Structure 1
Amino acid sequence: MKTLGHWLTSPWRRSAVAAAAGALPVLAFPAPSLWWFAPVALVPWILLVRAAPTGKRAGRDGWWGGFGFMLAMHHWLLPNLHVFTFVIAALLGLLWAPWGRLVRRLLGGEPSGGRVVAALLVVPSGWAVIELVRSWEGLGGPWGVLGASQWEVEAALRLASVGGVWLPSFLVVVVNVAVAVLVALPRCRVPAVAGLVATAAATSAAWALPSRPGIDDRVRIALVQPGVVVGPERRFDREEQLTRELVGQDLDLIVWGESSVGFDLRSRPDLARRLAALSRETGAEILVNVDARRSDRPGIYKSSVLIGPDGPTGDRYDKMRLVPFGEYVPARSLLGWATSVGEAAGEDRMRGSRQVVMDTGNGPVVGPMVCFESAFPDMSRHLAEDGADVLLAQSSTSTFQQSWAPAQHASLAALRAAETGRPMVHATLTGVSAVYGPSGERVGPRIGTDTSAAQVYEVPLAHGSTLYVRFGDWPLYAALLILALWGAGEAVRVRRTARERPVPPARTAHGSPTRPAR
């Protein structure tokens, strides 16, 4: 009977297995939400890579695994981007090729205890740098960061308040490396167990740190989710109807979702008057999102606009970070063909230039973000630094209504709340809408993708700063430092080995070695 190793000698079989192994961590994210699977989800991939016959093959295993991970994480884009989804996954998967070689270098063969200790730090650092690089907006942003799979775990949320989502992400990889060592290298179980104990100790230490502000007030915020409604006029009518149901409920703020208003309010003063009337009737200001061509400047913007009893208050935030292909096509002159094979943006949306906090009068100071922006930890951190009491994300995932995307997107709000110590409201057109408190805990019911409703939430407020707000992305800087130190150590080792290697004897013109003089 053929062994698994013999079966994997086929390059294509091995590549398929690597892609499947790389896709496994996605099961820890919504909608499956098997969060407990994340600490072992990378083990099959790590075991495959460490057993690669050559460094080049390990790099390919890393690439194919990264391809599988990216494709599985973004599979819901297939109906819209079609074949381009595979192209994006293949390009992003390249980021894991060096990581594959790194895993084999440290864990391949029969490594010493020192190499295993190094692997427990260097391999997670390599993963962290990959997440840093792909978090650039132009590469799709930080969607699917491994630590984000732990959004329901209180210990992980506590860690996020110390080091952002990057800290639980780093520690999840540490656990995976330790488990892989216990499975494949039982002689190295001491450093592996030490790694697990250190991870548990770091998690426990997060509970002792003053990393989360205490709750000191509450506000009443209503979310209006119209559901799937075709056409901007009909959508506005439905949102207006739902908002009127909130009259008399003593609200501090009402939030509509992304693209809730499909017309520029300067060009449609009738809509501005209807919104002002709703504000007067409900006694609360309304945060809407205008997705329209501006009358005062060229181009289409997505803008959070605050409406008071007299109409727009002048507070406006223009979306800064746009969805690649969904809202603009990167290097359109080269990649414009994507519009012919999928539903890529036919016209690039325009960008805002700065983040904004809005004072809602008698209500809280809010920091708005639009859709995709809630995936970026730095944006919510800056809003907290600028004085926001409540973080807001206005979103619309109606294009992906029956996929995993709405649940994945809503889960990010829990992490942003825990990181900043500020409650976060995730308001959508078609679900999932949700609210999370300052510790990342869920507040009230989620509004699913099958619901059209207006829901009121008692939102707890907290003040003060988390360690993450104060110190920023320090786990990423630590990962870069670890890699730099390891690289310097490797360079020294290679140079020393080269010096100690015996010099072969010189040969005569006839090819025979010369003898040293006595």
Structure 2
Amino acid sequence: MPERPRPLLPWWAALPVAVGAAFVYDLGFPGASIWPLAFVGIALALLTLIGRSIGGALLMGYVFGAIFYLVDVSWTGRYLGPIPWLALSLFEAVFVAVGALAIALAYRWMPRAAPGRFGRLVALPALVAGLWVLRENVVGSVPYGGFPWARAALSQSESPFAQLVSWVGSSGLGFVMVFLVAAIIEWLRARSWNDWRGALPVAATLVVALLLPAWPTAPNGELRVASAQGNGPAGYFDEREPGEVFRSQLDASEPLFDAEDVDVLLWPEGSVDLDPLGDPSAAAALDRIAERVDAPFIMNAVSYRDEKFYNTSMLWRAGEGATALYDKRNPVPFGEYIPDRDFYMLFAPDLISLVQRGYSAGTNPPVFDLDGTLAGLAICFDVIYDNLIWEGARDGAEVYLLQTNNADFRGTDENLQQLAIARLRAIETGRSVVNLSTVGTSQVMDPAGRTIDGLKADVPGAMLTDVELRTGLTPAVFLGPWVPGAIGVLSFAGLIAAGIAARRRRS
């Protein structure tokens, strides 16, 4: 194996830099939302890996990953205490550590495999960026469907780089971010700042990334959306009487019943706390609401069908009942169901026992037909899964109606992070997005990701918003899994090829 170069930072300096990198990186994400700091955090993390040994790279990567996740998803311990928070964060850090090892090997092998200017300033940064994104996509896929929550692209929902997601999706935007950082590091390390050719990769990437407009989808009319945020006791541990969440939603909707030309009434996830498919009184109440608003009515409830429980959004029409169903495609492991329950009961029986009912994953299409207008759907954490959003657009969705229940995360950054994901989805698909929560913050975004209507957190309220409809597929949707797939395959193959070439050159 090729001799590794001397570490850029000694271990006693690299360790605190890895810790600081995690905090700085998190400041770029929703909450603080200082998006340039995401680039700084990536740079600091990469500096700790240059010249690192295998053990050193694993340590630096694990420290960086653990601190970042502990801070970024601290809301996971809001109600259930530190065990789920620590377990998730420390587990995800294992993937970050393995990714850090791959990046450290790229820094060791690529300069020997391709020692010229191109190898140093283009191939090496591209390989580092690809390996970073590959690690993100692995985290977003395994285990139990993965957790693609804290990808680099999420930090850029309000930055000038956000338009890139319409072309290459979140994976492509993450690749560009890390490539820029890694290319600047190599340009400085090569001490070639007096040679303008050394700055070309960075300059060309910046010009394209900042000047390339979002892909233009085609306007196709408007949809008048009435939506209500009840701010009821919708949390897992909230004390409430049966039907109290429903009543809070009904009260918040009162101003909408006098509105004219409403095309659809939207309620958030968990808005109906009885199953209208099995409870005639709940069905009758929904009929009355649909009659009053004189429009299709989309709500959400727990449904029981074929001896299974589902988190279900229903398209309800007066006198007809539920004419279409969408069951949440990606129920949350350890929150909405317990995978391998018997195994995990051995470690945390009290926590596992809290989740008595397990939701099954849905298989029905994530699109509702609203009298000729197709609306794409996602329920809460569904929005973080690329394939579901792409499927909705390919099925003809002209607008997205996203339902969520953030009541278990009041007072945390979770809702802001989810809103940022919804904003990126608007740009990525070129569609308007209505992101409606039980407790807020709820927002309506146009196809450019700009907020055009909203309700503050922890207050009941209603919105009546004319949202633009769009047709046509952006390159990100058209290419779909080919972008992350190509990045992953080429990066893995590139690392192996660099290792083989480096060994041969040394021999």
- TM-score, normalised to structure 2, is 0.88
Q: Residue 453 of structure 1 is aligned with which of 434, 450, 461?
A: 461
1:9 Cα deviation after fit: 4.5
Equivalence for 1:319: 328
Q: Give SS of 1:264's match.
A: coil
1:168 is displaced (CA, Å) by 1.4
Q: CA deviation at 1:188?
A: 7.4
Report the counterpart of residue 201 of structure 2 in structure 1: 195
**How do 1:211-360 and structure 2 match up within 5 A?**
211-229=215-233, 230-250=240-260, 251-292=262-303, 294=304, 296-336=305-345, 337-338=347-348, 340-341=350-351, 345-360=355-370
Percent of matched pairs sharing the same residue: 24
* C-alpha contact 1:288 1:306 (8 A) present in aligned 2: yes
Q: How does 1:395-434 map to 2 (within 5 A)?
A: 395-434=404-443
Corresponding residue of 2:62? 63
In structure 2, the partner of 1:41 is 41
> What amino acid is the match of 1:124?
A
Once the two structures are superposed, residues 67-107 of structure 1 have per-residue CA deviations (whole angstroms, 9 ceiling, x without a partner) of 22222221111232512322222221122223323433444
Work out the CA distance in 2 between the residues paired with 1:464 and 1:396. 30
Q: What does residue 515 of structure 1 align with?
A: none
Partners of 1:289 and 1:99 lie apart in 2 by 39
Counterpart contact for 1:164–1:473, Cα < 8 Å: no
Q: Max radius of gyration: which structure?
A: 1
Which residue identity is paired with 2:403?
Answer: Q
Q: How many residues align?
A: 485
The verdict on how the C-alpha distance between 1:259 and 1:32 changes in structure 2, with shifts beyond 3 A counting, is same
Instruction: Tell me: CA distance 1:231–1:366, structure 2 relative to 1, closer, same or farther (3 Å).
Output: farther
For the 8 Å contact 1:35–1:149, the answer to whether it is kept is: yes
- Which sits farther off after the overlay, 266-275 or 105-114? 105-114
Using the TM superposition, give the Cα deviation of residue 182 of structure 1 relative to its aligned residue in structure 2, in angstroms. Answer: 5.0
Query: Could you say what secondary structure the match of 1:457 adopts?
Result: strand
Offset of 1:109 from its aligned partner? 11
In structure 2, the residue matched to 1:369 is: 378
Following superposition, the deviation at residue 492 of structure 1 comes to: 3.7
Residues 273 and 311 of structure 1 are in contact (CA less than 8 Å); yes or no, is this contact kept in structure 2?
no
Q: Structure 1 residues 180, 490: closer, same or farther in 2, change over 3 A?
A: closer
Q: CA deviation at 1:409?
A: 0.8
CA distance in structure 1 between the aligned counterparts of 2:41 and 2:265, rounded to whole angstroms:
41
Mapped to 2, the partners of 1:340 and 1:439 lie a distance apart of 45
Contact 2:228/2:463, CA 8 A, preserved across alignment: yes
CA contact (8 A) 2:325 2:364 kept: no
Most deviating of 120-129 and 25-34:
25-34
Residue correspondence of structure 1 range 455-474 to structure 2 within 5 A: 455-474=463-482
Change (3 A) 1:308 1:38: same
Does the 8 Å CA contact 1:326/1:344 hold for their aligned counterparts? no
The equivalent of 1:388 in structure 2 is: 397
- Contact residue 26 and residue 69 of structure 1 kept, 8 A: yes
Instruction: Output the CA distance in 2 between the equivalents of 1:228 and 1:189.
Output: 62
Structure 1-normalised TM-score? 0.86
Indicate conservation of the 8 Å contact 1:47/1:184, yes or no. Answer: no
Note if contact 2:283-2:321 (Cα within 8 Å) is conserved in structure 1.
Answer: yes
Contact 1:436 1:442 in 2 (8 A): yes
Conserved? CA contact 2:338–2:352, under 8 Å: no
For 1:161, which of 158, 163, 166 is the aligned residue?
A: 166
Identify if the C-alpha distance between structure 1 residues 343 and 374 changes in structure 2 by more than 3 Å, giving closer, same or farther. Answer: farther
Post-superposition shift, 1:51? 5.1
Say whether the 8 Å CA contact 1:389–1:422 is kept in structure 2: yes
